[in-house]
Amino acid sequence: MTIALQAKGLTKEFKGFIAVNNVDLSVKKGTIHALIGPNGAGKTTCFNLLTKFLQPTRGQITYEGRDITRMKPSEIARLGMVRSFQISAIFPDLTVLQNVRVALQRARGESYDFWRSDRVLSKFDDQAREYIAEVGLSDLTDERAASLPYGRKRALEIATTLALSPDMLLLDEPMAGMGREDVERISQLIRRIAENRTVLMVEHNLSVVAELSDHITVLARGEILAEGTYEQISKAPEVIEAYIGA
């Protein structure tokens, strides 16, 4: 199986404190890969390094065989690896359809103009509706983003990310702050997205991780503690200790 994203010797120091220490990570193409670990393990730092929101102190990162260690997030997005942004990236006063249209227009590098947006952007309607359907929001197409319940906002956020046509999606705690119904809905959505894309996510909800992930990397104190399927890592004594002893 080919590797989508790979890190070798990934290290990040903050003023002498090593938050991520010599991490080797391989995300196989077409899989759902989860990064887990107790608080302070270095997950967020690792995620920010992989998505190039932070520059590593040492180490190398490749995506589809290309060295992306020195690239900007916008450059790797053009290669097909996209980080899902937080809800703040959504325009609350625009409808679901208008938000995805704007995302499509931005993905093409066109500048956008809210005042003329409906007329100018309607050429993106068909494609926007496809992404809206993919994330299960068709019945809410004309609702203002601000009026959507939390879980639906995250689905919209994912739709605007899909507008960038990623081959690989990086999701930072996609289930954070969600009730059971939304967790189930977003889980199904991630599974659907992963049918023809690679997904790497940081996620706290272990039952979601167990259900969705093909491969899990467990971090603790900035280092890899264990790797494998949920079956494998959940039996590893060092993982049990890290979670219980944390």
Which of 134, 223 has the CB closer to ligand ADP?
223
Collect all residues with Cβ–Cβ distance below 8 Å to 132 and sequence separation of at least 6.
Answer: 96, 97, 100, 138, 141, 159
As measured in angstroms, the least distance from the Cβ of 234 to ligand ADP is 18
DSSP 41-63: SSHHHHHHHHTTSS--SEEEEEE
Nearer to ligand ADP, 100 or 202 (CB): 202
Cα 192 to Cα 213: distance, rounded to the nearest angstrom: 13
**Which of residues 37 and 59 has its CB atom nearest to ligand ADP in the complex?**
37
CB of 158 to ligand ADP, least distance (A): 21
Q: Please report how close the Cβ of residue 43 comes to ligand ADP at its closest, in angstroms.
A: 3
Q: Counting beta carbons within 10 angstroms of the beta carbon of residue 39, is it exposed (0 to 12), middle (13 to 18) or buried (19 or more)?
A: exposed
CB of 45 to ligand ADP, least distance (A): 3
Mention every residue, 6+ apart, whose C-beta is less than 8 A from residue 233: 216, 218, 226, 227, 239
Give SS3 for 164. Answer: coil
Tokens of 141: 């197409």
Phi, psi at 25, each rounded to 5°:
-145, 135
C-beta separation of 45 from 94 below 8 A = no
Binding residues for ligand ADP, per CB under 6 A?
A: 14, 17, 19, 37, 39-45
- Closest to ligand ADP by CB, 13 vs 125, is 13
As measured in angstroms, the least distance from the Cβ of 25 to ligand ADP is: 14
CB nearer ligand ADP, residue 37 or residue 151: 37
Q: Which of 50/104 has CB closer to ligand ADP?
A: 50
Which residue, 45 or 99, has its beta carbon nearer to ligand ADP? 45
**What minimum distance in Å lies between the beta carbon of 233 and ligand ADP?**
16
- Closest to 90 (Cα-Cα) out of 133, 39, 147, 136: 147
Q: From the DSSP assignment, how many helices (H) and strands (E) are in the chain? A: 10, 10
Q: Tell me the pairing of strands 17-28 and 3-14.
A: antiparallel
- Minimum CB separation from ligand ADP for residue 197, in Å? 24
Q: Which residues pair with 172 in a beta bridge?
A: 202
